[in-house]
Structure 1
């Protein structure tokens, strides 16, 4: 059995952790390889004892961490080394990076250490290609996934959208501040906005919502399907979003998504979701009004599946290990 070591430096609850749980536990993924999660020092991953046929980095790339990646490449020069880019995207760069030439140089240096770089969305891959961050032949697109069974088991809501939900960390990235201001501008007393999550911006968001009893903060739930079950539709006003697992889960649950037209969210409109072209209070007020006053958008739940993830990893493993795998494993047994 092929052994793949997935390197992380943080195992707190979040999209990456849930994705790795899927890779480890999904029966079809288990036919591709034995996926093991290895927790490594943030800036010195080469110090960890790694016994695998392929190494996959899920680490955030930084200048401080670059020497550690170089050491990882040197120590495991005979193994395929892959990086999955969870953090950076065109939207992230626009919102957070001042010295973009320097930032792009960092990414080019880091990505060059890997045999393959995996983008989590076609939009992210397009940004990498336009900026010349990675060689085209070394770039793959594999969308992440989680266990969708609890969401697909939910009955799709019927009738007009009355409860709009938002699911995720309470941080600047998610744009929940814009969502609250936009929702408050709507006069309908029967609408509800439920924000599921926790984070550093909670106090700020509660202050923005103060005085509007229609806006609820149910808190974080370890079972996301419970959040989707309580809502008719989901809002994702993200400032950047390399992929956006919430959109995939919401669609699997039969819930339409009102989303920013940014990064990987652009890839997910094909399932029947509604992009909002501008992240402003006015644009989102108008979009929410249209969503709640019109017929519910038809969501193609059949497109919200794990198949692209499984197929992507199968192709990558075959490309990197398939040709001479039997002979190579025999030599190292």
Structure 2
């Protein structure tokens, strides 16, 4: 496959998973072999499609009724181009918790996704939901996990002793479930355990109030050097209520840290990669999971070691999956043109 020109459209440049994934796409040597990548910011809710010269247009845009006219315009204006959408947000757990009018919501998703030649799910868990709900045509659906540069995490010495410092990394909001984690941690009895919450968000004051009185719990702001923060931790906890994939989980695996994840959406992918599942999402379930994990043993060590190996494999296979997808699209277009 000859190198392509590829533009990535975004409407949210907040520091987080989407922008870090795009940084990986722009800087990874294997991704560079697929073509030249450019990121273009698009104002959310604009009506007209932007002027674009690239052969392949990749949307990382939010799907909403407000954005739908622009997505329709994008398909109409570039009917001869390849359009791909990467779904970073919507999942089964999100729908169950946050969507009241599901028939209308599913109509929006089916309409929006039908405008694209391919729709990429960022995890197997999310992909199963998209397929089972019939939201994306089977032949149009691909699963490519999100990735970041894992070299700084793979370079860290693994932690194979009994975990004592537990980290929770991400936005301080309802999605991440840090309120449940704080309540669960407060019920643990070991005075030597520590919980570090790393991030920013609207719920910070409420979380600090919830943690008040337990000196073992500390809050730390957003860090532009996540590997340096990971180096301070023995274990990472991710009690998310919904999560399309969970880059923090991938980073924890690469760093050789024990990892506890809620059994939802894309976090389930990390269970096969060495993470320990916490079922139920209750305070009691998380308290028990923390206490059990902190009693280190061979099973924990095996999970940590496998996590490092499998995380490195994700970094290797992500560009391969992109190449496979672009080759398949190129072959389809060639067959169509020949006909």
SS at match of 2:85: strand
Q: Which of the residues 284, 291, 304 maps onto 2:311?
A: 304
The alpha-carbon deviation at position 323 of structure 1 amounts to 6.3
CA distance in 1, matches of 2:87, 2:10: 12
Aligned equivalent of 1:112: 114
Gaps of 5+ in 2: none
8 A contact 1:4–1:35 mirrored in 2: yes
The alpha-carbon deviation at position 9 of structure 1 amounts to 1.1
SS at match of 2:294: helix
The alpha-carbon deviation at position 10 of structure 1 amounts to 1.8
Q: Which of the residues 250, 253, 256 maps onto 2:255?
A: 253
8 A contact 1:143–1:308 mirrored in 2: no
The alpha-carbon deviation at position 161 of structure 1 amounts to 0.5
The alpha-carbon deviation at position 5 of structure 1 amounts to 0.6
8 A contact 1:41–1:47 mirrored in 2: no
Count of aligned positions: 326
Aligned equivalent of 1:187: 189
1:1-333 matches, within 5 Å, as 1-44=3-46, 46-295=48-297, 296-298=300-302, 299=304, 300=306, 301-305=308-312, 306-322=315-331
Gaps of 5+ in 1: 329-333
8 A contact 2:145–2:318 mirrored in 1: yes
Deviates more, 1:297-306 or 1:217-226: 297-306
8 A contact 1:260–1:276 mirrored in 2: yes
8 A contact 1:240–1:262 mirrored in 2: yes
Cα deviation code 1:42-93 (max 9, x no counterpart):
1237442211010010011001111110001000000010100001000110
CA distance in 1, matches of 2:175, 2:301: 26
TM-score by length of 2: 0.94
CA distance in 1, matches of 2:132, 2:38: 33
RMSD: 1.3
CA distance in 2, matches of 1:53, 1:314: 15
CA distance in 1, matches of 2:135, 2:331: 27
CA distance in 2, matches of 1:213, 1:220: 21
SS at match of 2:220: coil
TM-score by length of 1: 0.95
CA distance in 2, matches of 1:288, 1:165: 12
